[in-house]
Amino acid sequence: MIRTPYLLFLGDAPDQLAAKVAQGIKDWRPEYAVGQLRLPGCKADMRLPDMTLTEARQAGCKTLVIGVANRGGVISQSWKKVLVQALEEGFDLASGLHNLLRDEEDLAAVARATGRSLHDVRVPDVKYPIANGVRRTGKRMLAVGTDCSIGKMYTALCMEKAMHARGMNATFRATGQTGILITGGGVPLDAVVADFMAGSIEWLTPDNDPNHWDLIEGQGSLFHISYSGVTLALIHGGQPDALILCHEPTRTHMRGLPNHPLPSLEAVRDTALAMARVANPACVVAGVSINTAALSDTEAAEYCAEVETRLGLPTVDPFRHGADRLAEALEAL
Amino acid sequence: MIRTPYLLFLGDAPDQLAAKVAQGIKDWRPEYAVGQLRLPGCKADMRLPDMTLTEARQAGCKTLVIGVANRGGVISQSWKKVLVQALEEGFDLASGLHNLLRDEEDLAAVARATGRSLHDVRVPDVKYPIANGVRRTGKRMLAVGTDCSIGKMYTALCMEKAMHARGMNATFRATGQTGILITGGGVPLDAVVADFMAGSIEWLTPDNDPNHWDLIEGQGSLFHISYSGVTLALIHGGQPDALILCHEPTRTHMRGLPNHPLPSLEAVRDTALAMARVANPACVVAGVSINTAALSDTEAAEYCAEVETRLGLPTVDPFRHGADRLAEALEAL
């Protein structure tokens, strides 16, 4: 686990979008987001107090999180100075970058000398077991999508918020780099070795209180040929009690695959449910989450109503409308 | 690729079964199996000429293949002496053991000094791409099973033999350690990082002549919760034109999962075919391969006839009856 709270490092982010990791932390774990550190030229702003390293330490920050995607896969020298100083001032570092902190010799040396931790959440640091399929106590929800990058993480995070507001016992379980940085822990599933994928999800969602819900972040899609194996490992390792279907209605083809059309929500419902019942015969599809970012208010409401009628399942954009109806659907199970 | 032909190292194998890698090479690539090297106490015998290292070099052997599973995960000192000497006499070494040759400091040092190669087929040595789903020329068959360890590799190897006998253009494509050692190349899919699984199978089965068949070794099962993700990556990366269903009729539960019953052949047919058509809409199920090792001749014939009637597909035990009817089914496509 990554020590919290965080100082969010925005570096020289060229725009707000480049700092989406920092944005995710601020949106979903505001209690972790104590301040931001920006270099000259930074165009992103989380509307958090700008802090020096010393100020952030005094404010209680334990970890400097790299909240920005860099370009070209190199940790620039302008970043290095701050990162080295942060280690020397007692911060751990956390990063989801492809190029690893631990592979930077200067950072690795300072971390060793100061006894500080470098968290590269892009790669696993746990030896996961092979899945054993034994039924676990507690309940689990998994977000499954018609495609990749369609809002599965936001769906699970919105549901966690709505469930907490209802007084329900629920924990978001991150399976990707951004989710891990937001919450401080999880499994970087796309970097796990094939044989241990399902086992890593069993590890992530162990026995729990009977009324506790793990809200498992989905990855990929059963219908995305590049990543479908990852999705099936989530379905079988997660042994979900409930699936939430996720969809983005304006997408014309599978992400990165111009010749592959999206499957229907019905196809995802039927295929994912049949596969989920191999691991948990009691699994049901509990609701639908629509990413309506590209639609007007009226269009979004109409589209959700149409899907709700067609599938007979509560259908909302949890980011736009709140996830209360999805939380209610889980509560009713 | 591993250089052929081979000297098969049987070590101090306690019985014939412990040398099943050597047996597979001898059965399926007899032209690679020039001789065997046994240590005192070895209880396995491939009925090949016993050779010293020098004799094997004179007979043209290029690689010493460790054809035996060791116990306890340690490469014993009694093996080491032979392995070091083999490197010094000009052999490469190849192994599918969990403990890697390259991690043995003495072997690594001698290999460096002599310029010889250490092939640890348990782990990938290729940087595979992410799958792009683009349709490839040539044809592909994938063996899919009701369970793990049910005869998928033998099915594909038997089909290769039968297809060659019919003058067809076909290549077995190994996706597991034993298959890689048998044929000298392939993808150790269970050790590939999640994001690259499907891409590794695209890499393994590239564009080919229109009448060429890749016969892809299957792994796991869509219904085996520990490994199902690996299976789906094979289905989507392989984009097969034909599936062969594999089954072992006396098995009472999924391998290693006592509480999980086997799916029906019909369930595997329907699920695998629907998933395969995401990558290749023209895919068909072409036949059924039954592992009848536990049945009498009469029982085997009756069982295959019953399945053939039920599914309307050519059904054989390819190891017992030959795979000619499966080859014929592919030829007819």
* Chain-chain contact of B230 with A229 (C-beta, under 8 angstroms): yes
Among A223, A229, A279, the residue with its CB nearest the CB of B225 is A279
User: Mean of the pLDDT values across residues B77-86?
Assistant: 94
State whether residue B272 sits within 8 Å of chain A by CB: no
| Disruptive mutation site among B189, B205, B226, B259 for chain A (greatest number of A CBs within 10 Å) | B226
- Tell me which amino acid residue B285 is: V
**Residue-averaged pLDDT of chain A:** 96
For residue A87, the distance in angstroms to the closest alpha carbon of chain B comes to: 31
Q: Which amino acid is at B244?
A: I
Chain B touched by A197 (CB under 8 Å): yes
Q: Are B190 and A190 an interchain contact pair (Cβ–Cβ within 8 Å)?
A: no
Q: What's chain B's average pLDDT? A: 96
Instruction: Name the β-bridge partners of B287.
Output: B244
Q: What percent of chain A has pLDDT over 70?
A: 99
- How far apart CA A281 and CA A297 sit, in angstroms, is 38
pTM above 0.90, yes or no: yes
- Determine contact, residues B143/B132, Cβ cutoff 8 Å: no
User: What's the pLDDT score for residue B69?
Assistant: 81
Q: Is the peptide bond before A240 cis (omega within 30 degrees of 0)?
A: no
In angstroms, the separation between the Cα of residue B183 and the nearest Cα of chain A is 22
* C-alpha distances out from residue A252 to A146, A246, A259, A290, B271, Å: 12, 15, 10, 15, 25
DSSP 3-state of A297: helix
Given a cut of 70, whether residue A73 has pLDDT beyond it is no
Q: What would the mean pLDDT of A148-159 be, rounded to a whole number? A: 96
pLDDT at B123 over 70: yes
Name chain A contacts of B199, Cβ cutoff 8 Å. 226
The confidence band for B168, taking pLDDT boundaries of 50, 70 and 90, is: very high
For residues A66 and A13, give the distance between their C-alpha atoms in angstroms, rounded to a whole number.
Answer: 11
How far apart (Å, rounded) are the C-alpha atoms in residues B70 and B72?
7
B177 touches chain A (CB under 8 A): no
ipTM: 0.93
**Paired tokens of A146:** 């018609």
Nearest Cα of chain B lies from the Cα of A139 at a distance, in angstroms, of 18
For A177, the token pair is 């780099």
Query: Is residue B72 over pLDDT 70?
Result: no
pLDDT (0 to 100) of residue B70: 72
CA distance linking residue A122 with residue A107, whole number of Å: 17
Contacts of B263 in chain A (CB under 8 A): 278
Closest CA to A169 of A203, A210, A128: A210
Query: Which residues in chain B have Cβ-Cβ distances shorter than 8 Å to A134?
Result: 259
How many CA atoms are closer than 13 Å to the CA of A328, on its beta-carbon side?
10
Q: Please check the confidence at residue A108 and state whether its pLDDT lies above 80.
A: yes
Give the model's pLDDT for residue B73. Answer: 62
- pLDDT score of A72 more than 80: no
pLDDT band at B113 (very low <50, low <70, confident <90, very high): very high
CA–CA gap between residue A178 and residue B41 (Å, rounded): 56
Q: Is residue B260 within 8 angstroms of chain A, CB to CB?
A: yes
**Does the pLDDT value for residue B75 go beyond 90?**
no
Residue range B249-290, pLDDT digits in tens: 999 999 999 999 999 999 999 999 999 999 999 999 999 999
Question: CA–CA separation, A153 vs A151, rounded Å?
Answer: 6
Contact B209, B137 (CB under 8 A): yes
Which residue of B130, B229, B239 is in closest CB contact with A198?
Answer: B229
In this structure, how many other beta carbons lie within 10 angstroms of the beta carbon of residue B132? 14
Q: From CA B198, how far away is CA B219, in angstroms rounded?
A: 13
Which chain A residue lies closest to B267 (C-alpha atoms)? A274
Q: Which of B319, B222, B323 is nearest to B275 (CA)?
A: B222
For B207, other C-beta atoms within 10 Å of its C-beta total 11
Nearest to A200 by CA among A189, A213, A190, A210: A189
Mean pLDDT of A97-106: 92
What are the chain A neighbours of B218 within 8 Å (beta carbons)? Answer: none
Contact A190 B191 (CB under 8 A): no
